[in-house]
Structure 1
Amino acid sequence: MATTSVKLDEDLKRRIQHLAETKQRSAHWIMCEAIRHYVACEEKKEALKQDALNAWETYQENSMHLTLEEADAWLAKLEAGEDAEIPKCHD
């Protein structure tokens, strides 16, 4: 494990300490959890962005797509617990 320094304003430092006391954890644990959560969320956002860019690129190459209605109908079946096949894309 590596050590890193972070400068915090007094208000944030006080809030972290208060939360740590409330949760019966250390301020260090609270900060590590916050950073882990932030990094995981940002990684998921970046992966979603890359998926969207790849899908857009593929669409531009072949114009294959589903309509909103087709996608909604498929998702509704999945929500209802049905074993629904992914609809075929078309141009």
Structure 2
Amino acid sequence: MSSSATTSIKLDEKMKERVQRLAALRRRTPHWIMREAIEQYVLHEEKREQIRQDALAAWAHYQETGLHVTAEEADAWLAKLEAGEDAQPPECHA
């Protein structure tokens, strides 16, 4: 069972009205709308941070090894995938 803690957030009047209006339209509470918004934002930012970390790791690996594929090789592979082919990724080379 998960526990929850109360957190307060200050909204200007216009934002508060927007949240309340949306909540009424969606037949939800303003609390639900705000929790959903925060959850979606955090999920988005977590994915974004993972992509950033993966890019940094890939860059470090490239700097260590020099292994890479060219843009043309990557584009050709992606074109095959887009066409529905079951293509293997190109081999990395120095």
2:21 to 18, 22, 38: 18
Residue 47, structure 1, aligned to residue 50, structure 2: yes
CA–CA separation in structure 1 for the residues paired with 2:44 and 2:70:
29
State, as a whole percentage, how many aligned pairs show the same letter: 63
CA–CA separation in structure 2 for the residues paired with 1:63 and 1:54:
13
Q: How many Å apart are 1:45 and its aligned residue? A: 0.8
After TM superposition, the runs of 4+ consecutive aligned structure 1 residues lying more than 3 A away are none
Give unmatched runs, 5+ long, in structure 1.
none
Paired residues, what number? 91
CA–CA separation in structure 2 for the residues paired with 1:51 and 1:64:
16
Residue 67, structure 1, aligned to residue 70, structure 2: yes
Note the alpha carbon deviations across 1:1-52, whole angstroms, 9 max, x for none. Answer: 2211111111110000011111111111110110011001100110000000
| TM-score, with length taken from structure 2 | 0.93
Give unmatched runs, 5+ long, in structure 2.
none
